[in-house]
Amino acid sequence: MFVHIALSMLLAVSPTVRASPGDNLFEFEDCCDACVVQRRCDGGQLGEDTPMVNAYSAYTFKELPAVYSRWLAWDCHADCDYQCQQIITGERAEQKLELYQFHGKWPFVRAFGMQEFFSTVFSVANFVPHYWGYKRIAGKLARQGQTTPARTNALQNYLAVAVAGMCAWSASTVFHFRDLLVTEKLDYFFAGLTVLSAFHALFIRMTGMYALPKLRTWFTRSVVAIFALHLLRLYIDWSYTYNMRFNVFFGCLQYLLILQLSYQNYKLLRSRRSGRGHSPQGALLWHLCVVPVLLVVSTSMAMSLELFDFFSYRFQIDAHALWHLATVVPSYYLYEFLLRDYDYIVEPKTQRTLL
């Protein structure tokens, strides 16, 4: 949910808008030229003025496996680019020189067809808690039977958050598996959907709007309109800066809503007497007040990994992949918090309106 607050900033930036030091290495350019000529890529040719001085002309480049070209949209030029990234990075590692990014990404070795193995695996891992949350929320909805519209809406909002989360991490998995313009844009679109769906659910929960159907409907339509206009803006004029600001703005609101909800729960629980069929008051304070604050703190700390943008050539892992790993466990606790909050706060509040 709110682990996507700054996802638009943390995702690798498109090579069309972000140049990297590795892109400008003369040896990288020579290697790519030599590869496209040797493998007879369409239009590939060495510079006419100095065709014999290319140090990589005698290098034997590998042919692209058919499965990569058929199923993973790798073409000759893209594969030459990849092979030369590996060649240049290997040479620089042997010479103890600084390793560079290419096209905004570290030069990972393809593993089982994946461009970024660990980021792909950890994206799949992040899908799991959202699926788990979806199953629990859907199960609770099914067991509710005849209940108030307010209760149903509260759970449906959380269900939408889980669905958006599953979509976002599915898109992240595909993007890290194979970086293409379409997979990148889908990644950003669904990240925005996740942030907005969480903002929508938390705002309705904090304000008690789940019990105000007319106002709730107006608010929901407004959020849907915001997302539609957001997509239209990106379709007309794709802007990474705008997309980043959009996600960060609603993400920060999401953090504030979580903290405010925690404070509201604290005041409510302190005003209640112990017992009355509920869990011990101390346990409720922990689960409904302390845990959400810890979630905000832990995810903020996890995102700080991106400030130390490191890459291990030996282990083929970077800070971005570790950030994905660090968000798996908090997602489980997030759904635990939402469901406990529903059981002990939302449901009792709507008890008197049962039909």
| Polymer length of the chain | 355
- Domain assignments of the chain as residue spans, ordered by start: 21-94, 113-353
Tokens representing residue 18 in the block:
């972000």
Structural tokens at position 250: 């609603």
What is the residue type of 293?
A: V
Residue 200, SS3 per DSSP: helix
| pLDDT (0 to 100) of residue 134 | 98
Q: In whole angstroms, what is the distance from residue 100 CA to residue 105 CA?
A: 9
Backbone angles phi, psi at 17, to 5 degrees: -120, -10
Kindly give, in sequence order, each residue whose CB lies less than 8 Å from that of residue 338, ignoring residues fewer than 6 positions away: 133, 137, 158, 161
Helix (H) or strand (E) holding 340: helix 328-341
Whole-angstrom distance between the N-terminal and C-terminal Cα of the chain? 32
Q: What is the pLDDT of residue 282?
A: 80
Residue 244 is predicted with a pLDDT of 87
What gap in Å lies between CA 13 and CA 11, rounded to an integer?
6
- pTM score, whole prediction: 0.87
CB 341 within 8 A of CB 205: yes
Among residues 196, 187, 139, which one has the least CA distance to residue 167? 187
Determine the pLDDT at residue 46: 52
pLDDT for position 238? 87
pLDDT of residue 147: 72
Rg (CA), the chain: 25
What residues form DSSP beta bridges with 102?
A: 105
Asked if 292 contacts 261 with a C-beta cutoff of 8 angstroms, the reply is yes
- Looking at residue 11, its pLDDT comes to 44
Characterize 43-68 residue by residue with b for buried, 16 or more Cβ atoms within 10 angstroms of its Cβ, and e for exposed. ebebeeeeeeebebbeeebeebeeeb
**HSE on the CB side for 56, CA within 13 Å?**
23
pLDDT tens track of the chain, all 355 residues?
A: 555 554 544 443 333 445 689 999 999 999 999 999 999 997 655 555 445 558 899 899 999 999 999 999 999 999 999 999 999 999 999 999 999 999 989 999 999 999 999 999 999 999 999 999 999 999 999 988 767 888 899 999 999 999 999 999 999 999 999 999 999 999 999 999 999 999 999 999 999 999 899 999 999 999 999 999 999 999 999 888 899 899 989 989 999 999 999 999 999 988 876 555 555 578 899 999 999 999 999 998 888 887 778 999 999 999 999 999 999 999 999 999 999 999 999 988 776 554 4
CB contact burial 134-148 (16+ within 10 A = b; e otherwise) = bebbbebbeeeeebb
CATH class of 113-353: mainly alpha
Q: Report the pLDDT value the prediction gives residue 17, as an integer from 0 to 100.
A: 44
